[in-house]
Structure 1
Amino acid sequence: MLEVTLTLVGLLAVLFYVFMRWNFDYWHKRKVPGPPPRILIGNYPDMYTMKRHTIYGLDEIYRSYKQQYDAVGIYEARKPQLLVISPELARRVFVSDFKHFHDNELSVMVDEKSDYIFANNPFSLVGEEWKHRRADVTPGLTMSRIKAVYPVTNEVCGKVSDWLRKQIRLSPPEGIDAKDMSLRFTSEMVTDCVLGLRAESFSEKPTPILASIKNLFVLSYSLMLYFALAGIFPSLIRFFKVRFVPLPIERFFVDLMQNAVDTRRAQLAAGKQFERIDFLDYILQLADKRNLNTRQLTAHTMTFLLDGFETTATVLSHLLLLLGRDEEVQQRLLNEVQAHLNEKGVIDFEKLNELPFLDACVQETVRLFPPAFMSLKLCTEPIELPNRKGENFVVERGTSIVVPHFCFMQDEEYFPNPTAFQPDRFMQPDAAKMYREQGVFMGFGDGPRICIGMRFALAQIKAAVVEVLNNFNVRVNPKTRNDNDYEPTSFVTSLRGGIWLDFEERK
């Protein structure tokens, strides 16, 4: 009996081994080079050990092959992926050959039954649905609307300063958590500008909005397990979809949306003219035009919310970190800011986008700490591609394409001394555009699917930095690490161990 059991166990082990390696010749058959994958982990060992961020392993592959090839074949467990290692090919994926790489890979992992909110976000939508939703949402984020809510931006910026003064009086020895402060700012900003509601994020008793926003971006173990299983059993995603927005959070925002809509419509019914043409005003017009119910309204509105909370807070907190590390850059930026303050002590909206060093500091922060360190695209139409010293190959429909933005933005060939904070890289006119067209700088994406909230995010970040810098000296607390090592488990790029800063009010 024991011999039979051992034989069966051995047979199962052999079958499992064969199954796990079954697809490892996928790229070899197509004459695409690449590093040898390993059982269970493929080419992503860091995804399972979590001792360092996944992008560092991809960067090692990138550096090993970048002098010879445009792309190499890698594996997420058993699932083949094409790793783009040429900026020119990255640009083709996002722009010139966009129709062949139209969709994001996460689109196949969700549907309206599993996650109604995320499935209706432009990031997840595919084909014509994406085109229609983007056309619906884009008019709500025009410069005129961003300008219309700029007074709200400055009002919230004032709350940041008041909150910082209170924290300074408490003198916390570990400093102030810059990410927490930045999330308070973005939650207050976006909630007010989009919904016309107050999150009270800087009060002693903030509304549940702030907690819900923080929980929105927690990478759960169930989600991590799903990604791992999807790599081993790629067909799993055909039958089982995943939820990115937790159900309690979805319900909370649906109720919040209903409250905002009811409040605004009650004001209009009472003959009260709202004092600004904000995003909710546009959404209500869209709801009447499209006959949307509250859940559909929430899905549309969450486009503004999802894209405006975490990523904006990430860039803002890391910019304050980098300014705190470099006193000379901080003083230079302060000089530019103070030279353009109006009589109210703020910078006019038109002038905000004309401060070259402020913009350069933001762009350099995005280069060092890109909220999206890589993009996962999906081949939607087969295409034949060249591979420099290798042979031409065909990318088949459904193939996962990995574009590692971090690798390009940390490559000394394109950015000398790449780990250093040097805003002057972006001081020449249209530098960010130039780098983007070269394919080496895609902090906000590129092509037709470039981030639709980019201008709104930049306005928020710049206004907040102006406010903080004009009122406080920023220094790095000893609790904060000195390098730029990324948090291994973070879904959005963040410094390992957090960002702890000391603020001193200017005299």
Structure 2
Amino acid sequence: MCPLTTILFLLVGFLALFYVFLVWNFGYWKKRGIPEAKAWPFVGSFPSMFTQKRNPVYDTDDIYNQYKETDNIVGVYTTRRPQLLIINPEYIRKILVNDFRSFHDNEMSQFIGGSGDSILKNNPFILKGEAWKERRAEVTPGLSAHRIKAAYPVSQSVCKKLVDYIKKQQRMASSDGLNAKDVCLCYTTEVVSDCVLGISAQNFTDNPTPVVGMIKRVFEHTFGFFFYMTLATIWPQIQKFYQVSLFAKDVEEFFYDLMKKCVVMRRENPQQREDFLNYMLQLQDKRGLSVEELTSHTMTFLTDGFETTAQVLAHTLLSLGRYPKEQQKLREEIGKDELSFEQMSDLPYLDACIHEALRLFPPGLVLRKLVTQPYEFINKNGVRAQVKPGHVVIIPVNALHYDPQYYEDPKTFKPERFLEENGGMKKYRDQGVYFGFGDGPRICPGMRFALTQLKAALVEIVRNFDIKVNPKTRKDNQYDDTYFMAALKGGVHLDFVERQ
């Protein structure tokens, strides 16, 4: 046999073995009497994660809609790993709340947060077990109602600057209008920088700091990162000798340097401010936190507070622009007088508008929970499925938010769904079909602060402008093909018409 033939023979043999390796687990659930979604070698049941021709959540939605009438659970594969897609809302509620101990951790903890991820390794979303409980107990008091109320005047002050900024930008805007996401990110960065660190990002001046630009880079995940995540699901051992950080090194260094400077400045010039940094400095003195731990704790608040809230604010403005009657109803509720913190907190239609926007554009499109204790599911036909520690269950948030079985006319913006007289948010959350901020013990710890930011901005914008959707903005709710959160494909472009 000539050398070339030998090489070809070995190559074909290797490819055949690799193919067998990729599909070896396929049929795992079928053998146990549980239906399986179609799966392909290498990409599993979610090919869009690899092809990036549409947002991967639509693969999940398709599977949910195919099986929702016949099953409580369905087997799926992330690359070659067998996982369960949970369709029944009663089970979803149990996973997040009642039986939380059996699904304590998030799947992402398996892939990031190691030694290479100094920012994320102390993030409550990533941490497992007792480490998560301890870290959340440390962070949560810094987000108390008292501290959020104390920070409200800062949000109000930034909102005044935001209104002036929008007026200025609108006068200079092209026919494409203003990029609402960019405007909202300027706002959330300014508020969080002030409330957390006591500094200004200077976003509404002619000389802004690099903070916004760096925040954008934090959430720009490359194809290489997704490819690594795919490899890690196929061959988890790769993480033992090679890891990819979620954040670029220069971005990480920028925020660490910023944090260290703010800590030094606050130590040298103490301020009687009820902000998050003062709380963290007190915690450092009490618990003996290292500089790295202190920085990582505070970075959690910064990175979580910038991007997600900006997305929610942009999509709430989009929804109000698309539905002028609802916008006017909100304007009438807000009124013309300056609002105290208590008055702003008691605007039911404003709350309803935010929750409806969160339903239409949920930041977490799916939730992926790691099984931490053995658990048994029962399918509609009575077949039982056992999951063990290390298995993953998937909660199809987006599919549930758009299911007409739970939300009449689900593609339409109807804030009235979330008014108290109609059952409010609690009605949908108790049913296991609404996850604007998650649910259960791992519900978003910054929820109250995020809502205060959102409400303060919406009050000032709606009061001062008629919000109109620019023709450049698409008319449907199709998500960006590659972004990991719900973000309208093509961006949100709005026109702000100044009110007299």
TM (normalized to structure 2)?
Answer: 0.97
Partner Cα distance (1:292, 1:134) in 2: 15
SS of residue paired to 1:309: helix
Choose from 446, 449, 458 the match for 2:442: 449
Q: Could you list the runs of 5+ residues in structure 2 that have no partner in the other structure?
A: none
Q: Give the conservation status (yes or no) of the 8 Å contact 1:152–1:192.
A: yes
What residue is the counterpart of 2:364 in the other structure?
A: 372
Q: For each residue in 1:379-426, what CA deviation from the matched residue of structure 2 results, as whole angstroms up to 9, or x when unmatched?
A: 011112211214111101101111111111100000011111111111
Greater mean alpha carbon deviation, residues 4-13 or residues 414-423: 4-13
Shift of 1:112: 4.0
Partner Cα distance (1:3, 1:139) in 2: 69
SS of residue paired to 1:26: coil
Q: For each residue in 1:52-106, what CA deviation from the matched residue of structure 2 results, as whole angstroms up to 9, or x when unmatched?
A: 1111111111111111211111001111111111111111110111111000011
The letter of the residue matching 1:45 is: P
Greater mean alpha carbon deviation, residues 244-253 or residues 117-126: 244-253
The letter of the residue matching 1:482 is: K
What residue is the counterpart of 2:135 in the other structure?
A: 133
Choose from 486, 496, 499 the match for 1:503: 496
Choose from 272, 294, 300 the match for 1:303: 300
The letter of the residue matching 2:354 is: V
Shift of 1:13: 2.6
Shift of 1:334: 0.6
What residue is the counterpart of 2:347 in the other structure?
A: 355
What residue is the counterpart of 1:470 in the other structure?
A: 463
Partner Cα distance (1:386, 1:120) in 2: 36
The letter of the residue matching 1:315 is: V
Partner Cα distance (1:109, 1:49) in 2: 21
The letter of the residue matching 1:366 is: L
The letter of the residue matching 2:389 is: R
Shift of 1:238: 4.9
What residue is the counterpart of 1:102 in the other structure?
A: 104
Percent sequence identity over matched residues?
A: 48
Matched, 1:411 2:411: no
Partner Cα distance (1:463, 1:264) in 2: 27
What residue is the counterpart of 2:318 in the other structure?
A: 321
Structure 1 residues 246 and 390 mapped into 2: Cα distance closer, same or farther (>3 Å)?
Answer: farther
Size of the alignment, in residue pairs? 497
Choose from 33, 37, 41 the match for 2:39: 37
What residue is the counterpart of 2:428 in the other structure?
A: 435
Partner Cα distance (2:291, 2:237) in 1: 34
What residue is the counterpart of 2:85 in the other structure?
A: 83
Partner Cα distance (1:182, 1:18) in 2: 49
Matched, 1:494 2:487: yes
1:334-353 aligned within 5 A: 334-338=331-335, 341-342=336-337, 346-353=338-345
Q: For each residue in 1:357-385, what CA deviation from the matched residue of structure 2 results, as whole angstroms up to 9, or x when unmatched?
A: 11110000000000111111100111122
Partner Cα distance (2:497, 2:41) in 1: 53
SS of residue paired to 2:206: coil
Q: Give the conservation status (yes or no) of the 8 Å contact 1:79–1:234.
A: no
Matched, 1:244 2:249: no
Shift of 1:239: 4.6
Partner Cα distance (1:386, 1:473) in 2: 51
Q: Give the conservation status (yes or no) of the 8 Å contact 2:55–2:480.
A: yes
Shift of 1:25: 2.2
Structure 1 residues 41 and 230 mapped into 2: Cα distance closer, same or farther (>3 Å)?
Answer: same
Q: For each residue in 1:274-328, what CA deviation from the matched residue of structure 2 results, as whole angstroms up to 9, or x when unmatched?
A: 3x31111111100101112322111111221122111100100001011111111
Structure 1 residues 112 and 9 mapped into 2: Cα distance closer, same or farther (>3 Å)?
Answer: closer
SS of residue paired to 2:368: strand
SS of residue paired to 1:502: strand
Matched, 1:425 2:412: no
Partner Cα distance (1:284, 1:171) in 2: 43
SS of residue paired to 2:305: coil
Partner Cα distance (2:376, 2:322) in 1: 47
The letter of the residue matching 2:67 is: Y
Partner Cα distance (1:336, 1:218) in 2: 38
Q: Give the conservation status (yes or no) of the 8 Å contact 1:477–1:502.
A: yes
Partner Cα distance (1:186, 1:446) in 2: 23
Partner Cα distance (1:291, 1:54) in 2: 43
SS of residue paired to 2:436: coil
Q: Give the conservation status (yes or no) of the 8 Å contact 1:363–1:423.
A: yes
The letter of the residue matching 1:51 is: K
Q: Give the conservation status (yes or no) of the 8 Å contact 2:181–2:310.
A: yes
Shift of 1:6: 3.4
SS of residue paired to 1:116: coil
The letter of the residue matching 2:21 is: F
The letter of the residue matching 1:311 is: T
1:136-175 aligned within 5 A: 136-175=138-177
1:379-418 aligned within 5 A: 379-418=371-410
Structure 1 residues 460 and 11 mapped into 2: Cα distance closer, same or farther (>3 Å)?
Answer: same
Q: Give the conservation status (yes or no) of the 8 Å contact 1:475–1:502.
A: yes
What residue is the counterpart of 1:48 in the other structure?
A: 50
Q: Give the conservation status (yes or no) of the 8 Å contact 1:69–1:390.
A: no
SS of residue paired to 1:336: helix
Q: Cα RMSD over matched residues? A: 1.4
Matched, 1:291 2:288: yes
Q: Give the conservation status (yes or no) of the 8 Å contact 1:78–1:233.
A: no
TM (normalized to structure 1)?
Answer: 0.95
Partner Cα distance (2:185, 2:76) in 1: 36
SS of residue paired to 1:317: helix
The letter of the residue matching 1:464 is: A
Partner Cα distance (2:16, 2:173) in 1: 62
Matched, 1:480 2:473: yes
Q: Give the conservation status (yes or no) of the 8 Å contact 2:179–2:492.
A: yes
Shift of 1:116: 1.4
Partner Cα distance (2:484, 2:324) in 1: 30
1:171-250 aligned within 5 A: 171-250=173-252
